[in-house]
Amino acid sequence: MQIKIGDTTFEIVKGDITKQEVDAIVNAANPRLTPGGGVSGAIHRAAGKELWEECKKLGGCKTGEAKITRGYKLKAKYVIHTVGPVYKGSIEDEKLLASCYKNSLKLALEHNIKSIAFPAISTGVYGYPMEEAAKVAIKTIIDFLKENEGLELVRLVLYNDKAYEIHKKVMEEIIREME
Ligand code: AR6
């Protein structure tokens, strides 16, 4: 499913983030930027050990912030590492998750990146309920694209049918509210 915000295409797809042919993929990282499991483990495996060598030099990353590295063996030229909140059920969660998307998109613009793919940050090991996370992700991306030009494609990559269906429903609701 896709929509157009200004000149940017924003789409949700089912797929594997490590296989995306875009300028940058986003990693749902941990504060030490170690390979870890989930999306992060898969990205580090696909990129090769040079990615961890570069991550080691970055001095970690705070929750809600983002750092950029090269993509090495990935099709993507860059990896943007952002650290999602561990879900606690407080208002802070939403702010921090929104910051992950905003700061990753800002970093993309600063590096002249035209296409970027995100996973559903915080919805795995970090326990953020999928539907709540989808609302924050989709609203934040749309708001950013309304205010910023320069990106051609923003893609949200969902790993399974259930995650895709939840995001599709949330995106339809948000589009209806916008009309
Ligand atoms: N492509 C797209 N989505 C994926 C893939 C993939 N290859 N693999 C898993 N997902 P998680 P978090 C989905 O746990 O919750 C790591 O160990 C997955 O189904 O990777 O932000 C880090 O080092 C889920 O919906 O990220 C941190 O310690 C979503 O991606 C911690 O986990 C995010 O799941 C970060 O936890």
How many whole angstroms from 30 Cα to the centroid of ligand 1?
10
Containing domain of residue 25, as a range?
2-178
b (16+ CB within 10 A) / e for 34-45: ebbebbbebbbe
Task: State how far the Cα of 45 lies from the Cα of 143, in Å rounded to an integer.
Answer: 33
pTM exceeding the 0.95 threshold for the entire prediction: yes
| CATH number of the domain within which 56 lies | 3.40.220.10
The one-digit pLDDT tens for each residue of the chain (179 residues) are: 999 999 999 999 999 999 999 999 999 999 999 999 999 999 999 999 999 999 999 999 999 999 999 999 999 999 999 999 999 999 999 999 999 999 999 999 999 999 999 999 999 999 999 999 999 999 999 999 999 999 999 999 999 999 999 999 999 999 999 88
Does any ligand 1 atom lie closer than 6 A to the CB of residue 103? no
Task: State how far the Cα of 171 lies from the Cα of 134, in Å rounded to an integer.
Answer: 8
How many whole angstroms from 169 Cα to the centroid of ligand 1?
21
Q: How many domains does the chain divide into?
A: 1
C-alpha atoms less than 13 angstroms from C-alpha of 77 in its C-beta half-sphere:
9
How many whole angstroms from 29 Cα to the centroid of ligand 1?
8
